[in-house]
Amino acid sequence: MNTKNEEGLLSGITVLDMSQFLAGPMAALRLGDLGARVIKIERPDGGDLCRRLYLSDTEIGGDSTLFHAINRGKESFAVNMKDEADLQELRTLIAKADVIIQNFRPGVIERLGLDYASVTAINPRIVYGSITGYGPDNEWRHFPGQDLLAQARSGAMWLNGEANDGPVPFGLAVADMLAGNLLVQAILAGLVRRGVTGHGVHVETSLLEALVDFQFEVLTTHLNDGGRLPKKSTVRNAHAYLAAPYGVYRCADGWLALAMMPLAKLAPLLDLPALADYTPDDAFQRRDEIKSLLAGRLHEKTVREWLALLEPADIWAAEVLDWPKLLQSAAFRQLDMLQTVTREDGVSVRTTASPIRVNGVRHKDGLAAPTIGSQSEKIRAEFLR
């Protein structure tokens, strides 16, 4: 049997990753980081479409950097879903698996005969995880489950940027990653429940549900204050519902983030006595005015000079780092969150490692994302013969 990550919390759990792109594979990646064995089920003719979804013009060993990032440590088993013999092999594999993850459009998995009802007849202990764009049954179910489109339908874009910017998308595939994390939580709960009852379960979420949940704090405010829309600041907005000084400000040589704090405490440190005259109500109602005052003052000194004044006074402030500054910082290096992973053909990729530590140890297995079907024969010999 495969001995990958024997010390992992999910050691002995086999996951069939039948998903592609980002949300489903991200969930499978995290289960792998926790010790599960992840077998990626791919088409033999091209595999996961994410292999060719380029974030830039960079590719490594014929695959996109995105694919490498989200599929490290997995095995690949090639299956032609239109071939009955291949499907029968997959069913045999399902009978011996613990978890399935799939993100086909609603209706497709049923046509393949691999929906939960069909799969649980093969393996009643299976924990079956599904991700869709908008849910399996509502009127949006047939729309493409793509991150930007889900953001557009979720209301979340109206929280970003400044008042005059209109809707601003997140600079990350945030719906995919949030949905993937929610599915991990549900799958882990399903595995715990299976340990109690002996029976599997179907757990599911969607990009839209993940984004709605992501907004639970501010959406609850909207639902309980007469349905007022969030009002973004026109100056250095960082949160539509938080008062000045909350925001990001340009300094003489960089950018400084200021979180929530009493203006009266900030006033002497910035040599801005006028700040002390504003009431707590003013901090929200007149925040553009206050932020303009702050912006004019903060521009006069460097980030380091301001932090030397603010940090000893326990003011919540931080330099806004770009990636080079983050990667060069001692604090980041001490986290040890990067690793070099290598594919079976010798191709190497520098990428992130698991964000979770178990008993103080961060799991790293050194395995890169696989080539299409690279473990098919080994898996056949182990499971199918």
**C-alpha count within 13 angstroms, C-beta hemisphere, residue 256:** 28
Helix (H) or strand (E) holding 219: helix 216-224
Whether residue 208 sits in one domain with residue 130: yes
d(CA 370, CA 335): 27
Whether residue 135 sits in one domain with residue 50: yes
Whether residue 378 sits in one domain with residue 281: no
Whether residue 341 sits in one domain with residue 311: no
d(CA 232, CA 247): 11
Among all chains, which residue has been given the structure tokens 């010790």? 35
pLDDT classification of 6: cutoffs 50, 70, 90:
low
Predicted confidence (pLDDT) at residue 5 exceeds the cutoff of 70: no
- The whole domain housing 200 covers 14-214+333-384
C-beta separation of 105 from 178 below 8 A: no
- Residues 88-119 have pLDDT tens digits of 999 999 999 999 999 998 899 999 999 999 99
Predicted confidence (pLDDT) at residue 168 exceeds the cutoff of 80: yes
Q: How far is CA 33 from CA 14, 27, 64, 182, in A?
A: 13, 10, 21, 16
C-beta separation of 365 from 71 below 8 A: no
Predicted confidence (pLDDT) at residue 295 exceeds the cutoff of 60: yes
User: What is the reported pLDDT for 2?
Assistant: 40
Predicted confidence (pLDDT) at residue 25 exceeds the cutoff of 70: yes
Residue 247 domain-assigned (yes or no): no
Residue 250 domain-assigned (yes or no): no
Q: How far is CA 95 from CA 13, 51, 67, in A?
A: 13, 28, 28
Structure tokens at 71: 């599929």
Structure tokens at 265: 């405490």
Structural domain count of the chain? 2
Mean pLDDT of the chain: 94
User: What is the reported pLDDT for 86?
Assistant: 96
Whether residue 267 sits in one domain with residue 209: no
Whether residue 313 sits in one domain with residue 168: no
Whether residue 47 sits in one domain with residue 113: yes
Amino acid code (one letter) for 265:
K
Please provide the DSSP assignment of 245-272 as one string: T-EEEE-SSSEEEE-S--HHHHHHHHT-
Q: Among the three residues 287, 319, 351, which one is the final residue of a domain in this structure? A: 319
Which residue stretches of 299-347 are H helix?
303-310, 323-328, 330-335
pLDDT classification of 7: cutoffs 50, 70, 90:
confident
Average pLDDT over residues 332-338: 96
Average pLDDT over residues 249-271: 96
Whether residue 361 sits in one domain with residue 313: no
Average pLDDT over residues 172-185: 97
Residue 243 domain-assigned (yes or no): no
Residue 241 domain-assigned (yes or no): no
Structure tokens at 219: 């959406």
The domain spanning residue 347 has which CATH number? 3.40.50.10540
User: What is the reported pLDDT for 340?
Assistant: 97
Residue 224 domain-assigned (yes or no): no
The predicted model scores a pTM of 0.93
Whether residue 276 sits in one domain with residue 145: no
**All residues at 6 or more sequence positions from 269 whose CB lies less than 8 Å from its CB, including other chains:** 309, 310, 313, 315
Share of the chain above pLDDT 70, in %: 98
Average pLDDT over residues 284-300: 97
User: What is the reported pLDDT for 354?
Assistant: 95
Predicted confidence (pLDDT) at residue 39 exceeds the cutoff of 70: yes
Residues pairing with 60 in the sheet? 63
- Residues 202-222 have pLDDT tens digits of 999 999 999 999 999 999 999
Average pLDDT over residues 178-190: 98
Residue 153 domain-assigned (yes or no): yes
pLDDT classification of 385: cutoffs 50, 70, 90:
confident
- Residues 344-382 have pLDDT tens digits of 999 999 999 999 999 999 989 999 999 999 999 999 999
Whether residue 166 sits in one domain with residue 275: no
Whether residue 45 sits in one domain with residue 143: yes
Whether residue 343 sits in one domain with residue 302: no
Q: Among the three residues 294, 319, 344, which one is the final residue of a domain in this structure? A: 319
Let me know the angle formed at the C-alpha of 242 by 239 and 243, rounded to the nearest 5 degrees. Answer: 125
Residue 144 domain-assigned (yes or no): yes
- Residues 119-150 have pLDDT tens digits of 999 999 999 999 999 999 889 999 999 999 99
d(CA 62, CA 170): 28
Residue 236 domain-assigned (yes or no): no
